Amino acid sequence: MTGASTEQRLDQIIREELQPYVRQIDAQGHYPLGYLEALGAAGLFGAAGHESGQTHRERVRLIEKTAQTCLTSAFNLWCHLAAIAYVGLGDNERLRREVLPGLLDGRLRGGTGLSNPMKYYAGLDRLYLSAEPLGATGYRLQGTLPMVSNLGDNHWFAVIAGTTEGQRIAFFLPCTAQRLGRKERAGYLGLNGSATYSCVFDDVEAGEDWVLARDADSWIERVRAVFILYQMPLGLGLIEASIGAMRKSASRQGGCSRYLAVQPESIEASLAQLRRRTYELSVASALSVSWEEALQLRLDTVHTALLAAQSAMLYEGSAGYLQYSGSARRLREAYFLANLTPSVRHLEMLTRRLTGEDRGLTASS
Protein backbone atom coordinates (compact mmCIF):
# COMPACT_ATOMS: atom_id res chain seq x y z
CA MET A 1 0.00 0.00 0.00
CA THR A 2 1.08 3.58 -0.62
CA GLY A 3 1.60 5.99 2.26
CA ALA A 4 -1.76 7.67 1.62
CA SER A 5 -3.70 4.40 1.38
CA THR A 6 -2.01 3.09 4.52
CA GLU A 7 -3.05 6.21 6.43
CA GLN A 8 -6.62 5.90 5.13
CA ARG A 9 -6.80 2.24 6.12
CA LEU A 10 -5.45 3.05 9.57
CA ASP A 11 -7.99 5.86 10.02
CA GLN A 12 -10.78 3.45 9.06
CA ILE A 13 -9.62 0.80 11.53
CA ILE A 14 -9.39 3.40 14.30
CA ARG A 15 -12.93 4.61 13.55
CA GLU A 16 -14.41 1.13 13.41
CA GLU A 17 -12.36 -0.95 15.84
CA LEU A 18 -11.09 1.54 18.43
CA GLN A 19 -13.12 4.73 18.84
CA PRO A 20 -16.37 2.93 19.80
CA TYR A 21 -14.57 1.09 22.62
CA VAL A 22 -12.43 3.80 24.23
CA ARG A 23 -14.81 4.34 27.17
CA GLN A 24 -15.08 0.58 27.71
CA ILE A 25 -11.29 0.21 27.58
CA ASP A 26 -10.78 3.03 30.08
CA ALA A 27 -13.68 2.41 32.48
CA GLN A 28 -14.04 -1.37 32.35
CA GLY A 29 -10.57 -2.62 31.50
CA HIS A 30 -11.63 -3.94 28.09
CA TYR A 31 -8.70 -5.36 26.10
CA PRO A 32 -8.58 -3.97 22.52
CA LEU A 33 -8.08 -7.36 20.87
CA GLY A 34 -10.19 -6.58 17.80
CA TYR A 35 -8.16 -3.47 17.08
CA LEU A 36 -4.81 -5.26 17.28
CA GLU A 37 -6.08 -8.10 15.11
CA ALA A 38 -7.39 -5.67 12.49
CA LEU A 39 -4.05 -3.85 12.32
CA GLY A 40 -2.21 -7.12 11.78
CA ALA A 41 -4.67 -8.38 9.18
CA ALA A 42 -4.20 -5.11 7.28
CA GLY A 43 -0.44 -5.67 7.18
CA LEU A 44 0.36 -2.59 9.25
CA PHE A 45 2.94 -4.22 11.53
CA GLY A 46 5.58 -4.50 8.81
CA ALA A 47 7.22 -7.35 6.95
CA ALA A 48 9.33 -10.22 8.26
CA GLY A 49 13.02 -9.50 8.43
CA HIS A 50 12.68 -5.75 7.87
CA GLU A 51 13.87 -3.94 11.02
CA SER A 52 14.82 -0.95 8.87
CA GLY A 53 14.58 2.77 9.43
CA GLN A 54 11.48 2.99 7.23
CA THR A 55 9.85 0.18 9.21
CA HIS A 56 10.60 1.97 12.49
CA ARG A 57 9.16 5.20 11.09
CA GLU A 58 5.94 3.49 10.01
CA ARG A 59 5.55 1.82 13.41
CA VAL A 60 6.14 5.12 15.21
CA ARG A 61 3.38 6.69 13.13
CA LEU A 62 1.07 3.76 13.87
CA ILE A 63 1.56 4.17 17.63
CA GLU A 64 1.20 7.96 17.47
CA LYS A 65 -2.10 7.80 15.59
CA THR A 66 -3.42 5.21 18.04
CA ALA A 67 -2.36 7.28 21.06
CA GLN A 68 -4.34 10.26 19.78
CA THR A 69 -7.46 8.18 20.41
CA CYS A 70 -6.52 5.81 23.26
CA LEU A 71 -3.19 5.50 25.03
CA THR A 72 -4.07 2.09 26.52
CA SER A 73 -4.39 0.65 23.03
CA ALA A 74 -1.25 2.48 21.91
CA PHE A 75 0.62 1.00 24.88
CA ASN A 76 -0.55 -2.51 23.95
CA LEU A 77 0.61 -1.75 20.44
CA TRP A 78 3.99 -0.62 21.78
CA CYS A 79 4.33 -3.93 23.63
CA HIS A 80 3.47 -5.87 20.48
CA LEU A 81 5.74 -3.95 18.12
CA ALA A 82 8.60 -4.06 20.61
CA ALA A 83 8.18 -7.85 20.78
CA ILE A 84 8.34 -8.04 16.98
CA ALA A 85 11.58 -6.06 17.06
CA TYR A 86 12.99 -8.34 19.77
CA VAL A 87 12.54 -11.38 17.55
CA GLY A 88 13.72 -9.56 14.45
CA LEU A 89 16.90 -8.45 16.23
CA GLY A 90 17.41 -11.75 18.03
CA ASP A 91 19.63 -14.72 17.19
CA ASN A 92 16.96 -17.43 16.89
CA GLU A 93 16.16 -18.24 13.27
CA ARG A 94 13.42 -20.66 14.27
CA LEU A 95 11.52 -17.96 16.17
CA ARG A 96 11.81 -15.69 13.14
CA ARG A 97 10.53 -18.46 10.89
CA GLU A 98 7.74 -19.93 13.03
CA VAL A 99 6.56 -17.23 15.48
CA LEU A 100 7.31 -13.91 13.81
CA PRO A 101 4.83 -14.37 10.93
CA GLY A 102 1.97 -14.78 13.43
CA LEU A 103 3.04 -11.64 15.29
CA LEU A 104 3.14 -9.69 12.03
CA ASP A 105 -0.28 -10.73 10.75
CA GLY A 106 -2.09 -10.40 14.09
CA ARG A 107 -2.75 -14.08 14.80
CA LEU A 108 -0.37 -13.82 17.77
CA ARG A 109 0.31 -10.95 20.16
CA GLY A 110 3.56 -10.01 21.85
CA GLY A 111 4.42 -8.60 25.26
CA THR A 112 7.60 -7.18 26.71
CA GLY A 113 8.91 -8.45 30.03
CA LEU A 114 11.97 -6.20 30.00
CA SER A 115 11.04 -3.64 32.66
CA ASN A 116 13.08 -5.45 35.30
CA PRO A 117 16.09 -6.11 33.00
CA MET A 118 16.16 -2.45 31.91
CA LYS A 119 16.40 -1.45 35.57
CA TYR A 120 19.04 -4.13 36.14
CA TYR A 121 21.22 -2.81 33.33
CA ALA A 122 20.84 0.72 34.74
CA GLY A 123 22.12 -0.51 38.12
CA LEU A 124 18.76 0.03 39.83
CA ASP A 125 17.66 -3.52 40.60
CA ARG A 126 18.61 -7.19 40.54
CA LEU A 127 17.36 -9.62 37.90
CA TYR A 128 14.18 -11.30 39.10
CA LEU A 129 14.52 -14.43 36.97
CA SER A 130 17.14 -17.16 37.19
CA ALA A 131 17.98 -19.76 34.54
CA GLU A 132 19.31 -23.19 35.47
CA PRO A 133 20.96 -25.05 32.54
CA LEU A 134 19.42 -28.43 31.71
CA GLY A 135 22.11 -29.65 29.37
CA ALA A 136 21.07 -29.89 25.73
CA THR A 137 17.38 -29.51 26.50
CA GLY A 138 17.44 -25.84 27.55
CA TYR A 139 16.92 -24.09 30.88
CA ARG A 140 14.69 -24.09 33.94
CA LEU A 141 13.37 -20.61 34.80
CA GLN A 142 12.45 -19.47 38.29
CA GLY A 143 11.31 -16.17 39.74
CA THR A 144 8.52 -13.62 39.54
CA LEU A 145 7.98 -10.61 37.28
CA PRO A 146 5.50 -8.33 39.09
CA MET A 147 4.10 -6.63 35.97
CA VAL A 148 4.14 -7.72 32.33
CA SER A 149 1.63 -6.18 29.90
CA ASN A 150 -0.18 -7.31 26.75
CA LEU A 151 -0.44 -10.94 27.79
CA GLY A 152 -3.04 -13.61 27.00
CA ASP A 153 -3.45 -17.14 25.71
CA ASN A 154 -2.15 -16.38 22.21
CA HIS A 155 0.64 -14.12 23.39
CA TRP A 156 4.41 -14.47 23.60
CA PHE A 157 6.81 -12.27 25.58
CA ALA A 158 10.50 -11.64 26.13
CA VAL A 159 12.37 -12.06 29.42
CA ILE A 160 15.99 -12.07 30.57
CA ALA A 161 17.26 -14.48 33.22
CA GLY A 162 20.65 -14.85 34.89
CA THR A 163 22.62 -18.03 35.50
CA THR A 164 24.81 -18.88 38.47
CA GLU A 165 27.83 -18.54 36.13
CA GLY A 166 27.09 -14.84 35.65
CA GLN A 167 25.60 -15.23 32.18
CA ARG A 168 22.41 -13.48 31.12
CA ILE A 169 20.13 -15.09 28.52
CA ALA A 170 17.13 -13.64 26.67
CA PHE A 171 14.10 -15.86 26.07
CA PHE A 172 10.92 -15.48 24.05
CA LEU A 173 8.22 -17.77 25.35
CA PRO A 174 4.45 -18.32 25.09
CA CYS A 175 2.04 -17.49 27.90
CA THR A 176 0.85 -21.11 27.69
CA ALA A 177 4.23 -22.46 28.89
CA GLN A 178 3.77 -25.12 31.55
CA ARG A 179 4.33 -24.01 35.16
CA LEU A 180 4.02 -20.35 34.19
CA GLY A 181 1.43 -18.74 36.44
CA ARG A 182 -0.30 -15.44 35.64
CA LYS A 183 -2.41 -13.23 37.88
CA GLU A 184 -4.11 -10.20 36.37
CA ARG A 185 -3.18 -6.82 37.81
CA ALA A 186 -5.87 -4.13 37.96
CA GLY A 187 -6.89 -1.19 40.11
CA TYR A 188 -4.48 1.21 38.44
CA LEU A 189 -5.21 4.90 38.00
CA GLY A 190 -5.48 4.18 34.27
CA LEU A 191 -4.68 1.65 31.54
CA ASN A 192 -6.53 -1.24 33.18
CA GLY A 193 -7.27 -2.60 29.70
CA SER A 194 -3.59 -3.31 29.07
CA ALA A 195 -3.78 -7.03 29.98
CA THR A 196 -1.13 -6.65 32.68
CA TYR A 197 -0.22 -9.67 34.81
CA SER A 198 2.24 -10.75 37.43
CA CYS A 199 4.09 -13.80 36.10
CA VAL A 200 5.39 -16.58 38.34
CA PHE A 201 7.99 -18.91 36.82
CA ASP A 202 7.82 -22.11 38.85
CA ASP A 203 10.51 -24.25 37.21
CA VAL A 204 9.37 -23.31 33.70
CA GLU A 205 11.32 -25.40 31.21
CA ALA A 206 12.46 -23.17 28.35
CA GLY A 207 13.89 -25.18 25.47
CA GLU A 208 16.55 -24.02 23.07
CA ASP A 209 13.77 -23.08 20.64
CA TRP A 210 12.82 -20.24 23.02
CA VAL A 211 16.32 -18.84 23.49
CA LEU A 212 16.18 -15.42 21.85
CA ALA A 213 19.81 -14.52 22.53
CA ARG A 214 22.39 -16.45 24.51
CA ASP A 215 24.32 -13.22 25.11
CA ALA A 216 21.58 -10.96 26.47
CA ASP A 217 24.08 -8.21 27.30
CA SER A 218 24.90 -7.73 23.62
CA TRP A 219 21.29 -8.24 22.52
CA ILE A 220 19.98 -5.56 24.90
CA GLU A 221 22.31 -3.03 23.30
CA ARG A 222 20.68 -3.80 19.94
CA VAL A 223 17.09 -3.47 21.16
CA ARG A 224 17.14 -0.82 23.90
CA ALA A 225 16.96 2.18 21.56
CA VAL A 226 13.96 0.61 19.79
CA PHE A 227 12.41 -0.06 23.21
CA ILE A 228 12.64 3.68 23.92
CA LEU A 229 11.89 4.89 20.37
CA TYR A 230 8.52 3.15 20.25
CA GLN A 231 7.54 4.91 23.50
CA MET A 232 7.98 8.42 22.04
CA PRO A 233 4.79 8.33 19.94
CA LEU A 234 2.75 7.45 23.02
CA GLY A 235 3.53 10.97 24.21
CA LEU A 236 3.21 12.57 20.76
CA GLY A 237 -0.30 11.26 20.30
CA LEU A 238 -1.38 12.29 23.78
CA ILE A 239 0.01 15.81 23.27
CA GLU A 240 -1.79 16.15 19.93
CA ALA A 241 -5.10 15.05 21.47
CA SER A 242 -4.65 17.45 24.41
CA ILE A 243 -4.05 20.35 22.04
CA GLY A 244 -7.23 19.37 20.19
CA ALA A 245 -9.20 19.44 23.44
CA MET A 246 -7.83 22.90 24.24
CA ARG A 247 -8.80 24.21 20.80
CA LYS A 248 -12.28 22.73 21.08
CA SER A 249 -12.99 24.37 24.44
CA ALA A 250 -11.25 27.72 23.77
CA SER A 251 -14.48 29.71 23.31
CA ARG A 252 -16.28 28.46 26.42
CA GLN A 253 -17.24 30.93 29.14
CA GLY A 254 -16.32 33.97 27.11
CA GLY A 255 -12.97 32.56 26.05
CA CYS A 256 -11.43 33.11 29.49
CA SER A 257 -8.97 30.25 28.92
CA ARG A 258 -6.87 32.62 26.82
CA TYR A 259 -5.65 34.14 30.10
CA LEU A 260 -4.07 30.89 31.24
CA ALA A 261 -0.27 30.85 31.33
CA VAL A 262 0.06 27.89 28.94
CA GLN A 263 -1.60 28.23 25.54
CA PRO A 264 -1.99 25.62 22.79
CA GLU A 265 0.38 27.50 20.48
CA SER A 266 3.34 26.99 22.81
CA ILE A 267 2.56 23.28 23.19
CA GLU A 268 2.18 22.97 19.41
CA ALA A 269 5.66 24.42 18.95
CA SER A 270 7.11 21.92 21.42
CA LEU A 271 5.22 19.07 19.74
CA ALA A 272 6.61 20.01 16.34
CA GLN A 273 10.16 19.81 17.69
CA LEU A 274 9.56 16.51 19.49
CA ARG A 275 7.94 15.01 16.42
CA ARG A 276 10.82 16.11 14.19
CA ARG A 277 13.41 14.65 16.56
CA THR A 278 11.47 11.40 16.93
CA TYR A 279 11.07 10.74 13.22
CA GLU A 280 14.66 11.70 12.53
CA LEU A 281 15.78 9.23 15.18
CA SER A 282 13.53 6.50 13.77
CA VAL A 283 15.38 6.47 10.44
CA ALA A 284 18.88 7.03 11.87
CA SER A 285 21.35 4.50 10.48
CA ALA A 286 22.95 4.17 13.91
CA LEU A 287 19.76 3.90 15.96
CA SER A 288 21.30 1.20 18.14
CA VAL A 289 23.99 3.59 19.37
CA SER A 290 21.73 6.66 19.73
CA TRP A 291 21.09 5.82 23.38
CA GLU A 292 21.81 9.20 24.95
CA GLU A 293 19.71 11.03 22.36
CA ALA A 294 16.84 8.57 22.78
CA LEU A 295 16.81 8.96 26.57
CA GLN A 296 16.78 12.77 26.42
CA LEU A 297 14.02 12.77 23.82
CA ARG A 298 11.94 10.35 25.89
CA LEU A 299 12.36 12.64 28.92
CA ASP A 300 11.45 15.77 26.96
CA THR A 301 8.40 14.02 25.53
CA VAL A 302 6.98 12.94 28.87
CA HIS A 303 7.45 16.39 30.42
CA THR A 304 5.59 17.97 27.50
CA ALA A 305 2.86 15.32 27.71
CA LEU A 306 2.33 16.07 31.40
CA LEU A 307 2.13 19.79 30.67
CA ALA A 308 -0.27 19.28 27.76
CA ALA A 309 -2.60 16.99 29.70
CA GLN A 310 -2.78 19.33 32.68
CA SER A 311 -3.26 22.37 30.44
CA ALA A 312 -6.17 20.68 28.67
CA MET A 313 -7.81 20.00 32.04
CA LEU A 314 -7.48 23.66 32.99
CA TYR A 315 -8.79 24.78 29.61
CA GLU A 316 -11.89 22.60 29.86
CA GLY A 317 -12.73 23.55 33.42
CA SER A 318 -15.53 21.57 35.07
CA ALA A 319 -16.27 19.67 31.84
CA GLY A 320 -12.83 18.08 32.07
CA TYR A 321 -13.32 17.18 35.72
CA LEU A 322 -15.87 14.48 34.92
CA GLN A 323 -14.44 11.06 35.76
CA TYR A 324 -14.44 9.70 32.22
CA SER A 325 -13.96 12.88 30.22
CA GLY A 326 -11.33 12.74 27.51
CA SER A 327 -9.10 15.22 29.32
CA ALA A 328 -9.37 13.35 32.63
CA ARG A 329 -8.43 10.13 30.84
CA ARG A 330 -5.44 11.78 29.18
CA LEU A 331 -4.26 13.18 32.52
CA ARG A 332 -4.24 9.66 33.94
CA GLU A 333 -2.54 8.40 30.79
CA ALA A 334 0.14 11.08 31.11
CA TYR A 335 0.95 9.94 34.64
CA PHE A 336 1.21 6.40 33.37
CA LEU A 337 3.68 7.58 30.73
CA ALA A 338 5.71 9.26 33.46
CA ASN A 339 5.96 5.95 35.32
CA LEU A 340 6.44 3.62 32.35
CA THR A 341 9.94 2.09 32.41
CA PRO A 342 12.12 4.04 32.10
CA SER A 343 10.23 6.35 34.46
CA VAL A 344 10.92 10.07 34.79
CA ARG A 345 13.17 9.57 37.81
CA HIS A 346 14.98 6.75 36.00
CA LEU A 347 15.43 8.98 32.92
CA GLU A 348 16.65 11.93 34.97
CA MET A 349 19.29 9.73 36.56
CA LEU A 350 20.43 8.16 33.29
CA THR A 351 20.68 11.43 31.36
CA ARG A 352 22.63 13.09 34.18
CA ARG A 353 24.99 10.14 34.40
CA LEU A 354 25.64 10.23 30.68
CA THR A 355 26.41 13.96 30.75
CA GLY A 356 28.37 13.81 34.00
CA GLU A 357 25.91 16.08 35.80
CA ASP A 358 25.35 13.63 38.65
CA ARG A 359 28.75 14.26 40.22
CA GLY A 360 28.40 15.11 43.86
CA LEU A 361 24.91 13.65 44.15
CA THR A 362 24.41 10.97 46.78
CA ALA A 363 21.48 8.73 47.66
CA SER A 364 20.67 10.95 50.64
CA SER A 365 20.83 14.22 48.70
d(CA 191, CA 335): 10
Which helix (DSSP H) or strand (DSSP E) does residue 266 occupy? helix 264-282
Structural domains present in the chain: 7-109 (1.10.540.10), 111-215 (2.40.110.10), 217-357 (1.20.140.10)
Q: At CA 255, angle to CA 249 and CA 256, rounded to 5? A: 110
- Name the stretches of the chain with pLDDT < 70: 1-3, 48-51, 285-289, 358-365
Contact 212, 194 (CB under 8 A): no
- Sequence-distant (6+) residues with CB within 8 A of 225 are 287, 288, 289, 290, 291, 294
Cα-Cα-Cα-Cα dihedral of 241, 341, 339, 196, to 10°? 80
Predicted pLDDT at 53: 78
Amino acid at 142: Q
Predicted pLDDT at 250: 81
Distances, alpha carbon 266 to alpha carbons 204, 239, 273, in Å: 52, 12, 11
* The model's pTM: 0.94
Contact 61, 240 (CB under 8 A): no
* HSE value, Cβ hemisphere, 13 Å, CA-based, for 315: 25
Q: What is the pLDDT of residues 244-285, one digit of tens each?
A: 999 998 888 888 889 888 899 999 999 999 999 999 999 876
Q: What is the pLDDT of residues 273-323, one digit of tens each?
A: 999 999 999 987 666 657 888 999 999 999 999 999 999 989 998 888 898
Cis-peptide into 146, omega within 30 deg: no
d(CA 20, CA 33): 13
Q: What are phi and psi of 363, to 5 degrees?
A: -60, -35
d(CA 218, CA 85): 15
